[in-house]
């Protein structure tokens, strides 16, 4: 089943809020080898002007991957997740993520195409606070491999 191009422009409902915790930031930073003290030590983060621990730049993948289930699990779009490989990811920050943030994600399908028998899906996830303050926009491209 190929991806349905009529989904371009579709926006899904906002997700439930995600509470960013200090330990999650520390765990993520440790897992990716981010040693900057601002990710681990509250005083170091505050000395740099942040209100709390600073999340590494790729931390939003935690909330955007969970939010992407809205798209991946939409049966009408036609994604066979067993055939998916990650193509690309990029982040455009309005401000950093810090401990204490309550983040909400809104997914939009920006592009659907087919090349060489493979489906390509580009999504944008706008990450905001529960109060509507923009934090980061995250683009992700997945490739749905065609039948061999």
CATH architecture of 5-21+55-144: Roll (3.10)
Q: Which residue shows structure tokens 């897992």?
A: 31
Check residue 134 and give its pLDDT: 98
Query: Which alpha helices (DSSP H) does the chain contain, by range?
Result: 22-32, 42-47, 61-67, 69-72
- Report CA torsion sign: 20, 22, 26, 29: positive
pLDDT at position 103: 98
Question: Taking the domains of the chain in order of start, what are their residue ranges?
Answer: 5-21+55-144
Cβ(65)–Cβ(81) below 8 Å: no
56: DSSP letter: P
Residues 41 and 26: their CA atoms lie apart, in Å, by 9
pLDDT at 2: 80
The answer to whether 123 and 143 have CB atoms below 8 angstroms apart is no
**Whole-number Å distance between alpha carbons of 47 and 102:** 23
Per residue of the chain (148 residues), give pLDDT as tens.
588 999 999 999 999 999 999 999 999 999 999 999 999 999 999 999 999 999 999 999 999 999 999 999 998 898 988 999 999 999 999 999 999 999 999 999 999 999 999 999 999 999 999 999 999 999 999 999 988 6
């Amino acid at each position: 089943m190929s991806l349905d191009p009529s989904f371009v422009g579709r926006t899904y409902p906002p997700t439930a809020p995600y509470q960013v915790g200090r330990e999650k930031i520390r765990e993520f930073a440790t897992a990716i080898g981010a040693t900057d003290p601002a990710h681990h030590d509250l005083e170091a983060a505050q000395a740099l002007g942040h209100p709390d621990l600073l999340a590494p730049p790729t931390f939003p993948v935690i909330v955007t991957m969970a939010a992407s289930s809205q798209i991946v699990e939409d049966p009408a779009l036609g994604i066979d997740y067993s055939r998916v490989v990650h193509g690309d990811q990029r982040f455009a920050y309005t401000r950093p993520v810090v401990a204490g943030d309550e983040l909400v994600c809104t997914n939009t399908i920006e592009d659907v195409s087919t090349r060489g028998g493979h489906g390509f899906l580009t999504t944008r996830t706008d990450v905001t606070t529960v109060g509507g303050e923009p934090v980061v926009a995250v683009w992700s491209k997945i490739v749905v491999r065609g039948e061999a």
